[in-house]
């Protein structure tokens, strides 16, 4: 059956539109139509293809859904070898790399392209006349596996490139990976369907790409960034690596925005430090920075040795995962009485520090991961996050490794341990009679975001409690210089400073004080709302559950925690003693009417007042101000020259206000 012209044309239009929306959604992260609208277009195309199978081309947007399962992967020979990278584990090694390059090139300084080293899997994508025709794994660098059907399901990989000057043969190389969020979602799904969770995003990505059934791959949250090219014919590319990447981006390939061009070793170091700092905030896992000599003519002079180019290096971050042995499992009691099993470890250098303890979160986690005393485990420390046990290396388990059980009595005060059904956490029922809870409550009270008592660190609090100098937070304000000066690592001067810091902390705000009390589930944000709603402490102390629940953001559980806390005579006494000791704050003006409560606003374009000011005014009226437009947005306020948020709002049918209309709403 031949395809009528009108149908062929319509299919062409749908291809174009779907590719464009796909690009906007997955590469630019700036969709302009709703998901439903996208689905409608795709369904229309699928319908046409069902009737006219000739329309199914390799670059059809319908091909992402996943082809029929394979029996085995075919082989692909890489015409241009897929190389590996040499590593530098220190600044000195990076310096050596730069010195070798300068010597070989006989220059004073070199320009480098600087890119994050994504922790995923290298893939090669072959575009012939702009259409993706083949995708392969790296394999041994010479021969890889044909994973075309799987790669087609990755939405951020264009099935067809767009733009001018695309070489007839263009092999693009890059990394397929899974973001942190994608990984968490994947593991949640795995666990809820009774499957074993993946160990890390890299393994999950590798496992997903090597699925014989592309439909399985299609359901995995794989993403892609490209970092270079392989074979190129029938066209020319720029003569600098960074310019090539910019060109690839123009053709709709996904290139990381934070890629830099730096000058000399100093430039490399600065880039490395910056990325090291922001590493944990990135949405994906990286294990270092790759520096590449930017000029291709210089790359050519340098050539390569064995399996790695001389012109590139991976400056690796300190390892975030290491192996060590569990020497014991202790139980720690937190501020709210929560019992946390903690693995004691043979010291191990991981993520830039020596780690001797790692959290096991709760009893269920210990059993799920099946961690036993004597086990060899993988420890992970990412950024400032508390080190945790990732998994056990079962092969290394010694005979008689002990299984852990949570104690029935609090290991600190001996009170009964309770675990509410449905909750993962078990708690000591001793409340503030438990010295551990008391100690943690005092640490929290003194902390920077609570009463901000300068110089009263964790160690000092522990000593004060241990020596019996303080029982609860109110005792802090009775401390004498002499008592403090007698403690370890304290002298008269530091003791005097502490007493002064305590005096200074007496003038505080109601919201800080409420937060400092350490009521369960009452964080800073809730403390602020409570301060605004009640204006003073007494009405809050006397509020019943119904009154509390009427407050924005306070649900039944939080309301129970609050009334429970204030109905405890001991807590009331401590508060009274604190006030007698001189703690004070200004009454908070009761919050005015909140006409915009529950409404979400997004601001875009140039306004006549600073954006922060309009934001503050909207928030004061109870509105939420968000940075991005979604189905949950109620209003978009558009100033002059609005950005893509405006288009998106229009596409989603969200009400758009100009500044004047917004101010009117505020009145």
Question: Candidates 7-15, 309-317, 375-383, 437-445 — which segment interacts with ligand IVH by CB under 6 A?
Answer: 309-317
- Whether 493 is a known active-site residue: answer no
Instruction: CB nearer to ligand IVH: give 312 or 389.
Output: 312
CB of 124 to ligand IVH, least distance (A): 10
* By CB under 6 A, residue 155 contacts ligand IVH: no
Number of helices and strands (H, E) in the chain? 25, 24
CB of 304 to ligand IVH, least distance (A): 8
Question: Candidates 29-37, 306-314, 480-488, 501-509 — which segment interacts with ligand IVH by CB under 6 A?
Answer: 306-314
Stretch 67-96: interaction string toward ligand IVH, x if CB under 6 A: ----------------xxx-----------
* By CB under 6 A, residue 113 contacts ligand IVH: no
Q: Kindly tell me which residue out of 227, 251, 284, 515 binds ligand IVH, with binding defined by CB under 6 A.
A: 227
Residues ≥6 apart with Cβ < 8 Å to 590: 532, 533, 535
CB of 110 to ligand IVH, least distance (A): 16
* By CB under 6 A, residue 178 contacts ligand IVH: no
**Strand, coil or helix: 261:** strand
Residues ≥6 apart with Cβ < 8 Å to 661: none
Q: Kindly tell me which residue out of 17, 59, 111, 115 binds ligand IVH, with binding defined by CB under 6 A.
A: 115
How many residues interact with ligand IVH (rule CB under 6 A)? 15
Cα(314)–Cα(582) distance, rounded to whole angstroms? 58
Indicate left, alpha or beta for 288 from its phi (over 0: left) and psi (-120 to 50: alpha).
left
* By CB under 6 A, residue 122 contacts ligand IVH: yes
* By CB under 6 A, residue 379 contacts ligand IVH: no
- Dihedrals phi, psi of 75, to nearest 5 degrees: -100, 150
Nearest residue to ligand IVH on Cβ basis: 122
**Strand, coil or helix: 338:** strand
Instruction: CB nearer to ligand IVH: give 66 or 228.
Output: 228
CB-CB contact of 184 with 136 (8 Å) = no
* By CB under 6 A, residue 314 contacts ligand IVH: yes
CB of 338 to ligand IVH, least distance (A): 39
**Nearest CA among 598, 513, 522 for reference residue 564:** 522
* By CB under 6 A, residue 519 contacts ligand IVH: no
CB atoms within 10 A of CB 429: 14
* By CB under 6 A, residue 294 contacts ligand IVH: no
**Nearest CA among 655, 652, 661, 605 for reference residue 635:** 655
* By CB under 6 A, residue 175 contacts ligand IVH: yes
* By CB under 6 A, residue 138 contacts ligand IVH: yes
Q: Kindly tell me which residue out of 197, 260, 264, 309 binds ligand IVH, with binding defined by CB under 6 A.
A: 309
CB-CB contact of 342 with 355 (8 Å) = no
Please give the angle made by the CA atoms of 464, 439 and 471, to the nearest 5 degrees.
60
CB of 322 to ligand IVH, least distance (A): 19
CB of 104 to ligand IVH, least distance (A): 17
CB of 290 to ligand IVH, least distance (A): 4
Residue with tokens 């006989």: 106
Q: Kindly tell me which residue out of 61, 167, 228, 431 binds ligand IVH, with binding defined by CB under 6 A.
A: 228
Cα(417)–Cα(408) distance, rounded to whole angstroms? 5
Question: Candidates 113-121, 197-205, 597-605, 640-648 — which segment interacts with ligand IVH by CB under 6 A?
Answer: 113-121
Name the strands in the sheet holding 624-626, side by side, starting at the edge strand that comes first in the sequence: 624-626, 600-604, 635-638, 655-657
Out of 5, 117, 408, 459, the active site residue is 117
* By CB under 6 A, residue 290 contacts ligand IVH: yes
Neighbouring-strand partners of residue 625 = 601
Instruction: CB nearer to ligand IVH: give 225 or 477.
Output: 225
In the chain, the N- to C-terminal Cα span, in Å, equals 66
Residues ≥6 apart with Cβ < 8 Å to 123: 135, 136, 137, 138, 147, 151, 173, 174, 175, 176, 209, 224
Q: Kindly tell me which residue out of 19, 117, 220, 439 binds ligand IVH, with binding defined by CB under 6 A.
A: 117
CB-CB contact of 111 with 294 (8 Å) = yes
* By CB under 6 A, residue 293 contacts ligand IVH: no
Cα(396)–Cα(204) distance, rounded to whole angstroms? 23
Q: Give the H or E element holding residue 21.
A: helix 5-22
Instruction: CB nearer to ligand IVH: give 182 or 431.
Output: 182
Instruction: CB nearer to ligand IVH: give 228 or 642.
Output: 228
CB-CB contact of 530 with 551 (8 Å) = yes
So which residues are the catalytic ones?
A: 117
Residues that bind ligand IVH (CB under 6 A): 83-85, 115, 117-118, 122, 138, 175, 227-228, 290, 309, 312, 314
């Amino acid at each position: 059956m031949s395809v009528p012209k009108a149908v062929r044309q319509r299919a062409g239009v749908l291809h174009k539109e779907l590719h464009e929306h796909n690009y906007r959604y997955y590469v630019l992260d700036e969709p302009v139509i709703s998901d439903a609208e996208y689905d409608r277009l795709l369904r229309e195309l699928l319908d046409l293809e069902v009737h006219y199978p000739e329309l199914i081309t390799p670059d059809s947007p319908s091909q992402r859904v996943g082809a029929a399962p394979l029996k085995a992967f075919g082989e692909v020979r890489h015409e241009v070898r897929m190389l590996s990278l040499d590593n530098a584990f220190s600044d000195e090694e990076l310096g050596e790399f730069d010195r070798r390059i300068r010597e070989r090139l006989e220059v004073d300084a070199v320009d480098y392209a600087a890119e994050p080293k994504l922790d995923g899997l290298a893939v090669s994508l072959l575009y012939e006349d702009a259409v993706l025709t083949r995708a392969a794994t790296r394999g041994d660098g010479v021969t890889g596996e044909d994973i075309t059907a799987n790669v087609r399901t990755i939405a951020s990989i264009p099935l067809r490139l767009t733009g001018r000057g695309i070489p007839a043969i263009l092999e693009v190389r890059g990394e397929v990976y899974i973001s942190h969020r994608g990984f968490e979602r994947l593991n949640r799904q795995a666990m809820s369907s009774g499957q074993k969770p993946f160990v890390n995003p890299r393994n999950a990505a590798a496992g997903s790409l090597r699925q014989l059934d592309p439909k399985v791959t299609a359901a995995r949250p794989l993403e892609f960034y490209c970092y270079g090219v392989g074979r190129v014919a029938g066209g020319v590319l720029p003569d600098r690596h960074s310019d090539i990447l910019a060109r690839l981006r123009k053709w709709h390939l996904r290139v990381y925005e934070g890629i830099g061009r730096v000058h000399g070793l100093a430039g490399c170091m600065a880039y490395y430090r910056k990325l090291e700092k922001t590493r944990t905030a990135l949405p994906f896992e990286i294990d270092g920075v790759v520096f590449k000599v930017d000029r291709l003519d210089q790359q050519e002079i340098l050539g390569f040795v064995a399996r790695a180019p001389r012109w590139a290096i991976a400056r690796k971050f300190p390892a975030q995962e290491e192996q060590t042995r569990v020497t014991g499992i202790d139980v720690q009691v937190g501020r709210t009485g929560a019992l946390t099993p903690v693995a004691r470890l043979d010291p191990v250098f991981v993520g830039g520090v020596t780690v001797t303890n790692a959290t096991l979160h709760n009893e269920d986690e210990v059993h799920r991961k099946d961690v036993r005393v004597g086990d060899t485990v993988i420890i992970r420390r990412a950024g400032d996050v508390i080190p945790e046990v990732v998994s056990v290396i079962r092969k290394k388990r010694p005979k008689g490794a002990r299984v852990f059980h949570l104690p029935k009595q609090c290991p600190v005060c001996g009170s009964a341990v309770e675990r509410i059904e449905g909750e993962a956490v078990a708690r000591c029922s001793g409340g503030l009679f438990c010295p551990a809870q008391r100690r943690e409550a005092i640490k929290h009270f003194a902390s920077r975001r609570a009463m901000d008592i300068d110089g009263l660190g964790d160690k000092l609090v522990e000593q004060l409690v241990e020596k019996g100098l303080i029982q609860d937070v109110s005792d802090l304000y009775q401390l004498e210089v002499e008592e403090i000066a007698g403690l370890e690592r304290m002298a008269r001067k530091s003791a005097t400073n502490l007493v002064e810091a305590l005096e200074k902390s007496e003038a505080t705000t109601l919201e800080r004080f409420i937060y400092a009390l350490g009521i369960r589930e009452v964080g800073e944000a809730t403390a602020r709302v409570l301060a605004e709603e009640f204006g003073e402490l007494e009405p809050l102390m006397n509020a019943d559950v119904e009154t509390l629940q009427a407050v924005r953001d306070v649900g039944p559980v939080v309301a129970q925690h609050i009334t429970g806390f204030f109905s405890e005579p001991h807590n009331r006494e401590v508060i009274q003693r604190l006030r007698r000791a001189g703690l004070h704050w200004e009454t908070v003006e009761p919050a005015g009417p909140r006409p915009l409560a529950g409404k979400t606003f997004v601001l875009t374009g140039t306004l006549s007042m600073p954006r922060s000011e309009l934001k503050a005014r909207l928030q004061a009226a109870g509105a939420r101000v968000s940075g991005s437009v979604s189905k949950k947005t109620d209003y978009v306020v558009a100033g002059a020259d609005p950005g893509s948020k405006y288009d998106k709002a229009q596409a989603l049918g969200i009400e758009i206000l100009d500044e004047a209309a917004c101010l009117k709403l505020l009145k």
